[in-house]
Amino acid sequence: MFWLLSLGLVLAIVLVYLLSLPASYTVTRKIVIAKPIAEVFAYVRDFSNWPAWSPWTLHEPSAKVALDRPTEVGGTYAWDGQKIGAGNMRHRSIQDNQRIDLLLTFLRPFKSQAEVNWSFQSAQDGTEVTWTMEAKTPLPLRLFQGFFAKMIGYDFALGLALLRGQLDPSSEHPRITFDGVVTREAQTYATEHFEGTFEAMRQAMQEAYPRLWQNISKDADRWEQKPAIAAYHQVRFMKGTTVMDMGLAVKQLTAHEQGITIPTRRYFQMTMRGSYEFLPSAWNTIHGQIKMQKLRVDKRYPALEVYQVNPMESTNSNDWVTLLCVPIK
């Protein structure tokens, strides 16, 4: 009897806590596109343009898409895929060159709805585009609202960057391709270690790689002259912290040199072309694809960024090439 009372008390406390949480969450992301409002607005308004930049269609380009009056109030965009599920969007209201309101309905893998709106404002360098979604969360899932909002935020940021690339190819924008399962051979790296926040990591990387290169490039007998890497041993997206190593390939380590050896492993690999600012969204994307393919991540080994082309080789960030490699079982 006592354990039943205790269980009931715990459930009551959990229920009260869940009821105290907001019933919905909002995600908002913005970007500036160097084009006039009328041009940007007309492109976003037309559902027939969405497959070219959608961060979800990217996962399954072969998904079925059905359009009905794609530029009009009441017009719809419906999708149906094996990986990305099924659903539709409907234009609820359109204010020319100012705002678009949509109703987003998910049908599979679960049923839910969300209010989505786009707003457009003149900016000094073109048009500021704001993409917002407000979604209600069932009571049992309210504990995960922060996680949902963060992951969707990465998708929105990627989608806006892809949208900008469609409208202004000369702007900074990412290009992403899934390379599938690959095998990377064993390699030793001279490294510098880092533990801390994502913000502090960026500064540490800017300092560490030139220092590593200056030290190792002088030793032609050891320097492998292969792309630099970042090896992520632990990443906590919600806290914004990581434990990682920055490294350059060497044939062997010296007696007092810090380094790691990564064994031959299978990875799911994705290629991202573009600025490093898009990497958080790119990592979110590759992990989404891994889940859709029902692959199992091998957490015993670090995930890798491999800098095929980097700022030391090109000043144009659209030319930078980074491989994202997630170890799989």
Six-digit token string for 259: 């380094």
Q: Does the pLDDT of residue 7 top 90, yes or no?
A: no
Model pLDDT for residues 270-323, shown as the tens digit of each residue:
999 999 999 999 999 999 999 999 999 999 999 999 999 988 888 999 999 999
Domains and CATH numbers, the chain: 21-173 (3.30.530.20), 178-327 (3.20.80.10)
- Three-state SS across 183-244? EECCEEEEEEEEEEEHHHHHHHHHHHHHHHHHHHCCCCCCECCCCEEEEEEEEECCCCEEEE
Rounded CA gap, 131 and 116, in Å? Answer: 8
Model pLDDT for residues 150-169, shown as the tens digit of each residue:
889 999 999 999 999 999 99
Q: How confident is the model at residue 220 (pLDDT cuts 50, 70, 90)?
A: confident
Q: Residues near 126 by Cβ (< 8 Å), separated by ≥ 6?
A: 32, 33, 34, 35, 36, 40
Q: Residue 316 carries which side chain, given as an amino acid letter?
A: N
CA angle 267, 287, 309 (to 5 degrees): 60
